[in-house]
Amino acid sequence: MGLFDDRGHTMPTTPYTRLQAPGTSGAPGTAARSRFACLDGARSAFSSEKGMSHACEALKALYLGPDDGPYRQRDASQRQDDLAILEQLNADANRQDPPCLVDYIEGGNGEHRIINDHLRGLRRSDHAARMARALCDTVSKLTPYPGIAYRATTAPAGVYGQTIVLGDVIHDGGLMSASALPQHAIHWMETWTAQFRDPASEHVLLIFDETVPKHMAAGGMLADHVLVTPDTPLKVKEIHRIEGDASRQPVVLVRLKSPAHPFEHDMKNCFTGDIDFPALERSWSRRFAFWR
């Protein structure tokens, strides 16, 4: 058993070793490590806010591109980047494997569902509250992840683009699992998440940019696992609907960043678009941010 989708279902683990990227072998060298998270100037994550950003363009190209076994094909440079990311995530200083996180990732014991159902207000209990507090406290102490991360999820058709639009701020009451490698997020979407997708919903790939707070949470065989903590505010910067083709299903790409003043916006549920937290009056929201 392994990773979990947006509703808390369990996902199978990947067949890769802790530091092995798809289609690669051996340890990365200095040149690979220097490309960690593609943060070098030649690989700037985003272009102008007008049109499609480099991050969305790259994910679209990867999604529509050829397969390499069960995953999308990566070129030699991308594979080196992937190895550098995996090396950073799995370094001794970053990969701590705390027991509560290992149990949460493993999934077979149902802890992930108990915790996220509690955090999302679906099914509460004192037992779940204790588990959630322990895990969230642990996650908050994990090493921050500075790179881009990708998450496969689903939403009712039309939520992204109609109910949730550009400039909106969204959140998830639960923990949000993501992949540091985009081909892994695509794989989760096409294999595991697809099993649970309601016919009235659509596939969504979320892109968390470098400004979104995230934590390195690699564990077990999940070498590129990243976590976003509950109720992290996320500002919608891009929404692109990819129609797909004969071999690719339609998917919605959504790029998210950390908002400068989150409490000045209605905070919407990332699954439904419903307003969970109304905006605070501007002066009070600024004071609240100062008090924090």
Could you report the per-residue pLDDT of 93-111, keeping only the tens digit for each?
A: 999 889 999 999 876 668 8
Q: How confident is the model at residue 282, as a pLDDT?
A: 59
Q: How confident is the model at residue 284, as a pLDDT?
A: 52
Q: How confident is the model at residue 22, as a pLDDT?
A: 47
Q: Which of 18, 6, 21 is nearest to 219 (CA)?
A: 18
Q: How confident is the model at residue 289, as a pLDDT?
A: 53
Report if residue 288 sits inside a domain.
no
Q: How confident is the model at residue 285, as a pLDDT?
A: 54
pTM over 0.85: no
Report if residue 170 sits inside a domain.
yes
Report if residue 118 sits inside a domain.
no
Q: CB burial class (10 A; 0-12, 13-18, 19+) of residue 231?
A: middle
- Report yes or no: 80 and 26 within 8 Å, Cβ to Cβ: no
Q: How confident is the model at residue 245, as a pLDDT?
A: 87
Q: How confident is the model at residue 48, as a pLDDT?
A: 35
Report if residue 221 sits inside a domain.
yes
Q: How confident is the model at residue 49, as a pLDDT?
A: 47
**Which residues of the chain carry a pLDDT beneath 50?**
1-20, 22-49, 287-288, 290-292
d(CA 152, CA 116): 16
Report if residue 258 sits inside a domain.
yes
Q: How many domains does the chain have?
A: 1
Report if residue 210 sits inside a domain.
yes
Report if residue 271 sits inside a domain.
yes
Report if residue 20 sits inside a domain.
no
Structural domain boundaries enclosing 201 = 55-96+142-282
